[in-house]
Structure 1
Amino acid sequence: MTDFPAGTRSAFARAVSAEVRALLGAYRLSLRDFASAAGFSSHNYLAIRLRDEKPFTLDDIDLVCAYFEFDASEFLRRCYENHIERLWAEADLERSRGGLSAVDDNLGAAASTESAIEGSGEEGSI
C-alpha cells in the first residue's frame, strides 16, 4: 500500500479523490479541461488532490458538485458507496498499525447505524 502524506490520512479523503478520478474517467474529461471548466485555480492544484498529496476542501467539493450537478450529500454518498470496500480495508490496515483517524471511526459508526436501520426494516438513510 502507498504511504500517504499526513494530509490524506483518512480513508474517506482518499475515497473523495477516487470518486473525482472515477467521474473524470466516466465523462472522459481531461484534468486540465475539468479544472478550468469547474473553476479550480489551476490544473496543478487539482492534480495534487487527485494524487492524494492533499485532501479536497469543502470549497473544492462544492466546485465538483456544481460541475456535475450533484447535491453535496449525493456526491458524498457516492464517495462512500462506490469506495466502501477500500474504506474498510484501509481502516482495518490503519487499526492493525495502531492508528485510526476520527473520520474512519465516524465511518464505522455510520455503517453500524446503517446496518441497524436496514436490519430493523425502517425506511431512511444516514
Structure 2
Amino acid sequence: MADVPRGSEPKPGKFAVAISDEVRLAMTRHRVSGSQLAVLAGKSQSYISKRLRNESSFTANDLEVICLALDEDLLALVIRAARTVRGS
C-alpha cells in the first residue's frame, strides 16, 4: 500500500462503505443508537462512530459481534452490501 502514509488506515472502499450502510440500517431496524451498539459490541463509542462515519472500516470480527448483538444474519448483511456495490 504505497499510497497510504505509514501509521494510517486506507480510506474505506465501496464495499466497506456499503457494509457500514447495512450496519446503520440494522441499527435503525432494531432502534439501537451508536452508543448502545458500542456497549453491545464491547467497543468504545468512538470506535463505532468512526466506522459508521466511514473514517475506518469494520473488521470481520466487528461484524460478527455486531450481527450477534443485533440478531442480524451476518451472511445476509454481507450479501446485501455486495449487491449494493455490484449495482452501483
Which TM-score tier does this pair reach, normalised by the shorter chain? 0.7 to 0.9
The partner residue of 1:46 within 45, 48, 58 is 48
Per chain length, whose mean CA-contact separation is higher, i.e. which structure has more relative contact order (CA < 8 Å, sep 6+)? Answer: 2
Q: How far apart, in 1, do the equivalents of 2:77 and 2:65 lie?
A: 11
The 4+ residue runs of structure 1 with deviation greater than 6 A are: none
Percent identical pairs in the alignment equals 30
For each residue in 1:14-56, what CA deviation from the matched residue of structure 2 results, as whole angstroms up to 9, or x when unmatched?
Answer: 000001111112222111111102222x011000000000011
The answer to which structure has the higher helix fraction is 1
For each residue in 1:72-121, what CA deviation from the matched residue of structure 2 results, as whole angstroms up to 9, or x when unmatched?
Answer: 3222113234xx2xx243xxxxxxxxxxxxxxxxxxxxxxxxxxxxxxxx
Aligned to 1:7: 11
The partner residue of 2:19 within 3, 9, 16 is 16
Aligned to 1:77: 79
Larger radius of gyration: 1
Q: Does 1:32 align with 2:58?
A: no
Aligned to 1:119: none
Q: How far apart, in 2, do the equivalents of 1:65 and 1:27 lie?
A: 11
Q: Could you tell me which runs of 5 or more consecutive residues in structure 1 were left unpaired when the two chains were aligned.
A: 90-126
Q: Could you tell me which runs of 5 or more consecutive residues in structure 2 were left unpaired when the two chains were aligned.
A: 1-8
Considering only aligned residues, what root-mean-square deviation do their CA atoms show, in Å? 1.8
Q: How many residues align?
A: 79
TM value normalised by structure 2: 0.76
